[in-house]
Structure 1
Amino acid sequence: MFEIKKIIGSLLMPLPLLGLLTLVMVFLAIAHKRKALYFGFVSILTLMLISTPFIGQSLIAASNNPAWQFKQAKQPKLDNIVVLGCSIMPNSRLQANHQLGDCALARLLEGVKLAHHYPNATLYVSGGGFANATNSQLMFETAKTLGISATRIKQNPLAMDTAEEAKRLAIYLVDKKTALVTSASHMPRAKDLFNAQGIDVIPAATDFQDFSQYPTYKQFIPNIAVLVAVTRVAHEKIGSAWVSVRRWIDPEAL
């Protein structure tokens, strides 16, 4: 079920979805040229437009709310700091930090920064993985090299998605003051899933995406970084819709 959910969700992202539509249109063009070429043109044009900073920024702006930054002045004490897993690139020949993807590194950096500021807080590093590597283990090793004592770090290596992370960590976090570290675009869904487990988390968003200050000449040129940011937001929209469907079927599911 987990693999099926991930496959379907991945195919609904902008690049594979619009790419598949274009392939279908090219195939149909053999028999119905005008309609197929029209829809193929629209698919490619849409992919290019949402990849420009000018259009892409409008699609991601609401999902990168600066208000989700952690405000240390308002939080004199923390019991826990939870860093959610993200992308990894397992390679046993590399050190742990080189196996963490950009969003995983951004999240861990924020978590380590908070751990230094709150020396009595426990740092939870979460997330499963593949190829004999997990987010939690790679983050654990990297956090140690950044000056966090191993005795302060707890791992959550079995959770394969945010809902599982919330469920597995709930027993340690309920009724505790907990900062939740994740990407800005992921924060609303992550906070919702943790709240559903009775965990009142304090947002500590990181990995913000903003292309509004790009020079004018770059605003209308397709950019892979913009497409990645738009894809992340699309992923969150689909993820939130999935949570709503699961809760409609079974209110206790998530």
Structure 2
Amino acid sequence: MPLPLLGLFALIMLLLAFRGKRSALFLSFISLAALLLVSTPLVANLIIKNNESPALAFNSLKQPKIDKIVVLGCDINPNTALSANNQLGNCALTRLVEGIKLAKLYPNAQLIVSGGGYQKVTNSSLMYNTAINLGINKNRLVQNPAAMDTPAEARLLAPTLVDYKVALVTSVLHMPRAKDLFNAQGVEVITAATDYHNFAVLPWHKQLVPNAQALHVVTQYSHEVVGKAWISMRRWIDPEAL
């Protein structure tokens, strides 16, 4: 990921520079400059703009029927002193909102909330309770708490999804990889991407100032690049791996 990778590289180069290796100063400068650049909204937008296709968003006009809506897990912040929705991170909340919207558009569809967790709190349980609080009948809800990553989500859910019309809800940057993994399990999904970004709408001067949100989005993109490479390598070794 950009922050730990470039930050660690810069630190190592600085340590080498203190030991008399002058070229390390230049490499450290390049590393820190690259980190600052990918943290600017301008560069972040250039990186993601071709990877957040509006075509991946759900179009209800093209889908008269949906049988199952699958919402993939994301970030959580377990704290039993808080309500379920306040323990869901922004990414998880954004996905759940899209799932609930589809559940209300298709009142006969089953809503499946997925994702494991830690400290005895799962993403799926938090989404489950939040969905009930927002008016979804618990009889329509199914949890998938055992899955700790997307390959596991696809593998564990596939037996209940095959031969149904399935809407897959996840972040737009994550959607191509998620769709690929579900397709590999024999599940044809209809994309319902969410969590879009558009840094181009910011004033020009703000696009040149590094900020945490831009770095976060570039980190999400980097995660997907690494994830796709990992899948490709696993499939090269064993075509049935994922």
Letter of the aligned partner of 1:70 in structure 2?
F
- 1:189 aligns to what? 177
- 1:69 aligns to what? 57
Within-5 A mapping of 1:124-163: 124-163=112-151
Which one of the candidate residues 109, 113, 127 is aligned to 1:121?
Answer: 109
CA distance in 1, matches of 2:147, 2:20: 47
Letter of the aligned partner of 1:198 in structure 2?
G
- 2:230 aligns to what? 242
- 1:109 aligns to what? 97
Letter of the aligned partner of 2:174 in structure 1?
H
Moved more, 210-219 or 112-121: 210-219
CA distance in 2, matches of 1:151, 1:26: 59
CA distance in 2, matches of 1:32, 1:197: 55
CA distance in 2, matches of 1:143, 1:32: 60
CA distance in 2, matches of 1:32, 1:130: 46
Aligned Cα root-mean-square deviation (Å): 0.7
Displacement over 3 Å in runs of 4+: none
Moved more, 63-72 or 194-203: 63-72
The reply to whether residue 167 of structure 1 matches residue 144 of structure 2 is no
Which one of the candidate residues 193, 199, 218 is aligned to 1:205?
Answer: 193
SS in 2 for 1:62: coil
- Deviation of 1:32 after TM superposition, in Å, equals 3.0
**Structure 1, unaligned runs of 5 or more:** 1-12
Give the TM-score of the pair, scaled to structure 1.
Answer: 0.94
CA distance in 2, matches of 1:140, 1:207: 20
**Structure 2, unaligned runs of 5 or more:** none
- 1:51 aligns to what? 39
User: % of aligned pairs identical?
Assistant: 58
- 1:6 aligns to what? none
Within-5 A mapping of 1:13-52: 13-52=1-40
SS in 1 for 2:201: coil
CA distance in 1, matches of 2:175, 2:20: 45
SS in 2 for 1:154: strand
- 2:84 aligns to what? 96
Cα deviation digits, residues 15-61 of structure 1 (max 9, x gap):
00011101101111122342111111001100001111111111111
Give the TM-score of the pair, scaled to structure 2.
Answer: 0.99
